[in-house]
Every structure is written in structure tokens, then in C-alpha cells.
Amino acid sequence: MNNLIDLARHIPAPEAALTVAYTPIRLAMAGRQPLELRLTMPASGDNLPIVLLSHGFGPSNYIPSKDGYAHLAQFWAERGFAVIQPTHASSRVGGLPAERKGAPFFWRERVEELNAILDRPDEIEQQAGGVTGRLDRKRIAAVGHSFGGHTVSLLLGATLHGEDFSEPRISAGILLAAPGRGGDDLTEENAARFPFFDLDFSTISAPNLVVCGDEDNPHFTPRGPEWHADAFHNATATDRDLLTLHGVGHGLGGIAGLDAKETETEAPDVLEALKRLSLAWLKTALGADPEAWAKSRAALQQSAPSLGEVITRQAGTR
């Protein structure tokens, strides 16, 4: 029950089921401290699709870690997904030392950390206990917010100066307020500071959902909110969608957490719409419910258009 939700109730979503969370799960990493994870998943059921949730580089101390974005991870887990959240190398609370090469963003290490999760599911299941055999390792999606969207973009197939980081084990992904094109699209200062933003999104072929807030004000570029939609417009993926949420900025109404520093605008109804729509997209993209995304798009358009709008590019459509 959420008394703050109104229009988003029209977007269908299953009832919440009991969940369990395992934390901290630790994966040893060469030359550094272990990678810490949180696994949140339904208390019962098998063949659970997996979602890797990559946090951003926000101003809070704990949101950029395995302990952030709790309500989003919980929402997906309550409805059938196993959600794995790493504390990336860039995290303030549990990341790598500030004097280490690659600081403070550690963009390469972030990609390596998600690959480590994919490489070592047996270790994760053994530490969780009672989980063995319940995760579907053939159905994996990655989701990233803000700088996490940069990380996920690389794994989905975006190239950086010709370098390929694509991970075929990730079959679909969601980019939440992710950075757009770098290089000449940035201010001169930010182009020098963030050379790793210079991605070529045209090489993304995996199905993806790009989510933007129409009041997002990216300070890296003289462009407006549409900068965050570059991955949608420049990708060549046959199946891709763009969800634009109305009246919210980079925090998408509270994705990192209501009352968090990252949340410039608290918009519970828009946030609920994002949660329900992203759930539906994941269910369709990973084969859990082929009709979920179409039904949710229709409900948004018919009953809650003030919350957002969707543009879709799919096989056989223009």
C-alpha cells in the first residue's frame, strides 16, 4: 500500500511476494579488497531471471553502493527477479582508494566488477545459501543509473574509441538517465575531464530501454535533457525503447531513494510509473511475460499520459 500513488496504479503490476536479501556477499578480486554484493530475490520459486543493478556516482555516501536504490531492487525482487547490486570501485563507502590509478571514477573497474559477477555465479550461490539452482543464468539483464548507465552501455555493446566491452551473457539492458555522447557534445572542460564519455552507441545491438527525465539538466554539455537519450537515437538495436518521464530530472523522481541527496524532485507517482514500466520491460525482454511491456505502454498512454511517454523501435515498426 502506498497512499502517494495515484495515476501509476493504472499501470499493471503483480502483487508483491515475500523476498529475502543476502548481504554482504564477497568476491575476491586480485590486487584489491573483495567486491561486495547484495542479492535480493523472491523467497520461493526457481528459474529466476537475474538483474544486475549498477549504481551511479551521486553525492550521497551510501547510495552509490550495494545498499543504494533499495526500493527499486526490492520492487523487482518482489515480482520475480533476482537482483544483484555491487559496491563499485567508485563508491565512497566501499570503493578503491582515492590515490589508486583510475580514481575517482574507475570506469574500467566497474565493467570488470560486473563481469566478475557473471563469471562467478557459483560463489554467489554458495555464499547465499539455499539459493543454489534457483537462478536462471541464461536470462540476465543489466540496469544502470547515471554513471551506472555508462557502465551498462559498455556491456551492451557501446564502444569507446574502437574498444569493445560487450558482454553476450547480458541479453538486455536499461539505461536510466545515462550519459549521452562525449567529445564535441561536452563543454571543453568536461570533454577533457571525461574522455571515457566519448561512446559510440551505434554498436549497441542488444534490446534496451533508455529512460530520461524531461527536466534533467545535464551540466556536462550545453545540450538539454535530450542528451540522455543519445543511446536510443544512435543505437542500431532492432528492439529499443525510450521512456521520457514528465516533471522530473536526473533523479527520475527518486530512483536512488526518496529524501536522498540525488533526488532533486520527489515525485512518487512518476517514480512508481518507472518501477512498473521497467518491471514490464524486463519481464518481456527476458521472456517472463511477452505481453507485459505492450500492456503497460498502453496503460500509460490511455490512463496516465501526464506521467510519461514511450517511443518504441521494434522489428517491423518504424
> For 20-51, how does the pLDDT look when each residue is reduced to its tens digit (9 = 90+)?
999 999 999 999 999 999 999 999 999 999 99
Which burial class, exposed, middle or buried, applies to 100 when counting CB atoms under 10 A from its CB (0-12, 13-18, 19+)?
A: middle
CA distance 250 to 274: 13
Q: Would you place residue 316 in the very low, low, confident or very high pLDDT band (cuts 50, 70, 90)? A: very low
Name the CATH superfamily, with its identifier, for domain 7-313: Alpha/Beta hydrolase fold, catalytic domain (3.40.50.1820)
Residues in the chain: 318
pLDDT tens per residue, range 187-228? 999 999 999 999 999 999 999 999 999 999 999 999 999 999
Sort strands 240-245 and 208-213 into parallel, antiparallel or unpaired: parallel
User: What is the structure's pLDDT at 314?
Assistant: 76
User: What is the structure's pLDDT at 91?
Assistant: 97
Flag the least confident range among 13-22, 132-141, 245-254, 308-317.
308-317
Q: Would you place residue 1 in the very low, low, confident or very high pLDDT band (cuts 50, 70, 90)? A: confident
Whether residue 75 has pLDDT greater than 70: yes
Contact 11, 277 (CB under 8 A): yes
Cis peptide before 104 (omega within 30 of 0): yes
User: What is the structure's pLDDT at 251?
Assistant: 96
User: What is the structure's pLDDT at 318?
Assistant: 42
Supply the mean pLDDT for the chain: 96
Q: Would you place residue 81 in the very low, low, confident or very high pLDDT band (cuts 50, 70, 90)? A: very high
CA distance 211 to 244: 6
User: What is the structure's pLDDT at 315?
Assistant: 61
pTM given for the model: 0.97
CA distance 150 to 183: 15
Whether residue 148 has pLDDT greater than 80: yes
- What stretches of 146-223 show up as alpha helix (H) in DSSP? 147-156, 188-193
| Axis crossing angle, helix 107-119 with helix 147-156, rounded to the nearest 10 | 60
User: What is the structure's pLDDT at 8?
Assistant: 98
Contact 142, 51 (CB under 8 A): yes
